[in-house]
Structure 1
Amino acid sequence: MSVAFTKEDSAEAASETLLPDRPIPEGPNLVTAAGLAALERQLQEAQLAYDAAMTIEDVSERRRQAANPFRDIRYFAERVRTAQVAPPPENTDIVTFGSMVTFERDDGRVQTYRIVGEDEADPRAGSISFSSPIARALIGKGVGEAAPVGAGEVEIVAIG
């Protein structure tokens, strides 16, 4: 086999293991203090995983194992670099970034979410992104006010 084929195969394998960047949400990268700490922790974990992958002797396996951590390093480094820590809400008069808001839907369901940054949002754990449609509808409103959500609306019953 000629050296040209080896180099071509090697370049092809390398391009297959260089994953595309994770999409960066548009707009400001607002985070809570806890959100910034989580981003920094995720960056450190990705770096540790990448460092561990780089100790693998088999080149193909090393590339394969390093691909995800390398992509995550690029993503989390950018998110940490652009993070804008928002102070906790000063009052509970209106819904703002960082507020814990409870609302009632048209069908009677009552839900409570904390409005947080893109990377720290986890609806199953009770947090939603400030850029989500429901958070955008709630921000700036007070207790007793209605906000349009989808085909219906929700009424804010508590802000914490």
Structure 2
Amino acid sequence: ERIALISRDLRYWTARRESAELSVPEPGSDLVRFGMGVTLEGDDGRKVHWRIVGEDEADPAKGTISHVSPMALALFGKKVGEIAVVNGRECE
């Protein structure tokens, strides 16, 4: 049973690697995109920094969020100073 699980995981990661694409943000771009780091300030003045990454790399405790997370989806296409609304809360 353990070998079957390991084989399944190996097939999964092999397929993920084969379909992976390198994504590099455009230099000088002021729009939030995949791979970028963003610093948000909430209504209370508290700041938090996130880097938007792939699902397999996401670890909020380490400052990375998935590109399919509600936060990242709300931020995509925003410019510095624009307001993003996530779960009813505004962040700038």
Give 1 or 2 for the bigger CA radius of gyration. 1
Deviating above 6 A after TM superposition, structure 1's stretches of 4 or more consecutive aligned residues are none
Residue 77 in 1 paired to residue 14 in 2? yes
In structure 2, C-alpha distance between the alignment counterparts of 1:92 and 1:110, rounded to whole Å: 22
The 8 Å contact of residues 25 and 33 in structure 2, kept in 1 or not, is answered as no
- Helix, strand or coil: the match of 1:77? helix
Residue 99 in 1 paired to residue 36 in 2? yes
More helix by share: 1
Instruction: Name the amino acid aligned to 1:112.
Output: H
Deviations 1:59-104 (A, max 9, x none): xxxxx33133112112111111221221233224121111100001
Identity across aligned pairs (percent)?
Answer: 50
| Structure 1 match to 2:68 | 131
Aligned-residue RMSD, C-alpha: 1.5
Deviations 1:110-159 (A, max 9, x none): 1101011111111111111111110011111111110111011111xxxx
Change (3 A) 1:89 1:129: farther
The 8 Å contact of residues 97 and 130 in structure 1, kept in 2 or not, is answered as yes
User: When the two structures are superposed, what TM-score results if normalisation uses the length of structure 1?
Assistant: 0.53
Instruction: Name the amino acid aligned to 1:93.
Output: D
User: When the two structures are superposed, what TM-score results if normalisation uses the length of structure 2?
Assistant: 0.88
